[in-house]
Amino acid sequence: MILDASFLTQLNAAMDSLLKRMNLFSQARVLVVGDLTLDEFLTGQVERLSREAPVLILRHEHTHQIPGGGANAVYNLAKLGASVKVAGLVGNDDQGIALCGIFEQAGIDIGGIFIDPNRPTVTKTRISGHARQSVTQQIVRVDRKSDELPDIKLQLKLAEYISENIDTVDAVVCSDYGDGVLTQLVIESALKAPLTIVDTQKDLPRFTGATLFTPNLPEAEKAVGYSIKNQQTLQQAGQDLLRLTQANSMLITRGEEGMSLFEGEKQFQIPPFNRTDVFDVTGAGDTVVAALTLGLCTGSSLWESAVLGNLAASLVVRQFGTATTTIEEMKEALRSLLNPE
């Protein structure tokens, strides 16, 4: 990946600081409040067409389960070495047990995960099949979720847990996928943290007063109500979003165009670090938030933190499905950017 010479100069000057901050990730303490999802990948070999209906019959080979949605942000933080607490809900089901088990194996504190007896664990099951010696392809995805809000007692439990633990962490991340955990009661508790990072797919003003928002381009356009099609509208959108949310900063992720960071009247452009080896962007936003948050927790400037988020995301998009990266992989990627072969 060839980067602009002026950006490379800036990146080279910041290299020692970036490496130092990454070494401090293990000292960061983060609470993630959000919609927890279990991603399931069920794979089988196609045997024949069914007599019951015009559908394929698969012989099951394996099932793989990984954290998704807000749970992916939790998992990314843990894989980068942080001490992580999580506040959220799971159903009284096998999927909830599986997700909590994955968290516990990663050393994540699940004391803030409560069981909702009326709603299932949000689960997205991707069923894929293949013939002999052929490529595996996704056939269908099955989503399990409820459109009902959590009971008020559960909302109060979440809010109480956040309030009790807010002084034990360096930052709170709100990961909102629209599945009902982040009610106004819960949001109000989360916003009491001195450093609150918000990743939400809708209605940014619900989190008014947060420190930093990380919308992608479609989310930013929806929030401001107009298309962002050039540098002028991008600059306007950044300022409008800051006014709309009363945030200190706004990071708009723009896919293959990189990132645009707004801090007061200042604007910074961070180019993409990987345009060629992109296999799957699923969950990349969670990775951005994780590395960005850890940068801020360990004393990085906002620009440096955004660079760390961009760097981490450039690695996970090379993998299929929601994925994580490590500090060592990030360090190697940074060195490769500055010293390409």
Block means of pLDDT (10 residues each) for the chain, 341 residues, are 74 87 96 97 92 92 94 95 97 98 97 97 95 86 95 98 97 96 97 96 92 94 93 94 95 88 90 59 78 95 93 77 78 81 61
Confidence at residue 274, expressed as pLDDT on a 0 to 100 scale:
63
194: left (phi over 0), alpha (psi -120 to 50) or beta: alpha
Which residues pair with residue 252 across a beta bridge? 260
Report the distance separating Cα 152 and Cα 146, nearest Å: 16
Confidence at residue 64, expressed as pLDDT on a 0 to 100 scale:
92
Are 126 and 41 spatial neighbours (Cβ–Cβ below 8 Å)? yes
Please classify residue 8 by burial: count the beta carbons closer than 10 Å to its beta carbon, then call 0-12 exposed, 13-18 middle and 19+ buried. Answer: middle
The superfamily in CATH containing domain 5-338 is: Ribokinase (3.40.1190.20)
Please classify residue 266 by burial: count the beta carbons closer than 10 Å to its beta carbon, then call 0-12 exposed, 13-18 middle and 19+ buried. Answer: exposed
Please classify residue 146 by burial: count the beta carbons closer than 10 Å to its beta carbon, then call 0-12 exposed, 13-18 middle and 19+ buried. Answer: middle
What is the number of other CB atoms lying within 10 angstroms of the CB of residue 230? Answer: 9
Dihedral in degrees, nearest 10, Cα atoms 69, 74, 80, 84: 170
Are 113 and 143 spatial neighbours (Cβ–Cβ below 8 Å)? no
Confidence at residue 279, expressed as pLDDT on a 0 to 100 scale:
43
What is the number of other CB atoms lying within 10 angstroms of the CB of residue 190? Answer: 25
State both tokens at 235.
């600059």
At which residue do the structure tokens 């069920």 appear?
42
Count of positions (residues) in the chain: 341
Report the distance separating Cα 195 and Cα 188, nearest Å: 14
Are 244 and 220 spatial neighbours (Cβ–Cβ below 8 Å)? no
State both tokens at 246.
């009363």
Report the distance separating Cα 247 and Cα 236, nearest Å: 15
What is the number of other CB atoms lying within 10 angstroms of the CB of residue 335? Answer: 12
pLDDT in tens, 188-244: 999 999 999 999 988 899 999 999 999 999 999 999 999 999 999 999 999 999 999
Amino acid identity of residue 155, one-letter, is Q
- Is 286 one of the catalytic residues? yes
Confidence at residue 280, expressed as pLDDT on a 0 to 100 scale:
43
Confidence at residue 179, expressed as pLDDT on a 0 to 100 scale:
94
Which residues pair with residue 116 across a beta bridge? 91
